[in-house]
Structure 1
Amino acid sequence: MSQDLTRHHETPRDDSIWVGGRPEPVAIAIAAYDPAWPARFQELAARVRAALGDKALSVEHVGSTSVPGLAAKPVIDIALTVADPADESAYLPELEEAGFRLVIREPAWHEHRALKSARPNANLHVWGPGCPEVERQRMFRQWLIDHPEDLARYQEAKTAAAAEANAAGEIVTEYNRRKQPVIQEIYERMFRSHGLL
């Protein structure tokens, strides 16, 4: 598990992950932390739980909007655990009925699926039980809360990545790629602190 936990994922540069084709570039805006973000997550989590019932094994607020004080894209990231993300028929129709749309399918990365909600703006990431990526996200969230110097460094990296991606007319996966060196540096520090490297 620790090897999976410390392994970094590289998003493919081709269009293979996109369901329905590569999205058009949209300007990336980094907003100051909004104290309303946790309430937006609760609204979305209630929607997911109402749609899936017991099939939603866990629903967690992850990503930058889950870290108090951190500037972020005003998009709520949610980690949803289901019994088998590859079995889309077991959860996707209910989530679509609840206003989510499948946009990413990554079988090679823990069978990751990503769905989008427009109102409120959210990314719903679907994983399976015991997925190391969910634990990585929990650890990273707590590390940023506990280490303000790394929170500030990450915030600077996000702001710079957004400006560069916007100037180049890139999509959000390229913005994410531009942040990776700083994210990986913070992860390495975090993993060493936990005795995982």
Structure 2
Amino acid sequence: MAEPRRIVIQPYSHQWPSEFEKVKVTLQEGLGDVAARIDHIGSTSVPGLAAKNIIDVQVSVPDLADRRLVAAFESLGAMATDITRDHVPPGDQREPSEWEKRYFRAPASWRPTHIHVRETGRANTRYALLFRDYLRHSPPAAAAYAQIKVTLSRLHPEDVDAYYAVQDPVCDLIMDAAEHWADGADWAP
């Protein structure tokens, strides 16, 4: 039986942006025009935010069904997983396809990286970018989110399911505030 993954939240590292840039260059070179855009998302993309030492990358593609997609990632040594959708916020009435994605595990030779592949223009692509941008805009929201993550990692250090069972709805609450901010700020991804 595999060892459970331990959830460790650490203080923000000023190295994370440059580490993302290295991953981005590798992805750009390997994916070519399969990728429409490559963004640093998640907690490591928010200056000052405590996080797991894992770079989250969103690769936006024109079409998740593009036959070149899996082959391009495999050429980089990334492995496809059976993860095919994101958490759907409670009450969301959009088509299920709005939350569809592909998730690839980076090769062991890379620094720890999660690769989320989402289709351009879909709700989940926007969610990740707006979440990041709102937390960059609101240090109090980012600090509260960090406190929740640290507490969850202390309470459930080896229970990933419990960690995300709380974290996902917290993110949905933050997104409600982010949507209000986006409307007033005329935000666009």
CA offsets 1:6-43 (integer angstroms, 9 cap, x no match): xxxxxxxxxxxxxxxxx863001111111111111111
CA offsets 1:148-173 (integer angstroms, 9 cap, x no match): 1111110011111212222xx423x4
2:11 and 2:51 in contact (8 A); partners too: yes
Backbone CA RMSD of aligned residues: 2.0
What amino acid maps onto 2:105 in structure 1? K
2:9 and 2:149 in contact (8 A); partners too: yes
TM-score, normalised to structure 2's length?
Answer: 0.81
- Alignment correspondent of 2:174: 186
- Alignment correspondent of 1:5: none
2:134 and 2:181 in contact (8 A); partners too: no
Task: Map 1:99-178 to 2 at 5 A.
Answer: 99-106=77-84, 108=96, 110-117=99-106, 118=108, 119-166=110-157, 169-171=158-160, 173-178=161-166
TM-score, normalised to structure 1's length?
Answer: 0.78
- How much does 1:99 deviate? 2.2
What amino acid maps onto 1:160 in structure 2? T
SS in 1 for 2:111: coil
Number of residues of Structure 1 aligned to a counterpart in Structure 2? 170
Counting aligned pairs with the same residue, the percent is 29
Unaligned runs of 5+ in 1: 1-22
CA offsets 1:35-92 (integer angstroms, 9 cap, x no match): 11111111111111111111111101000000000010010001101222234x3111
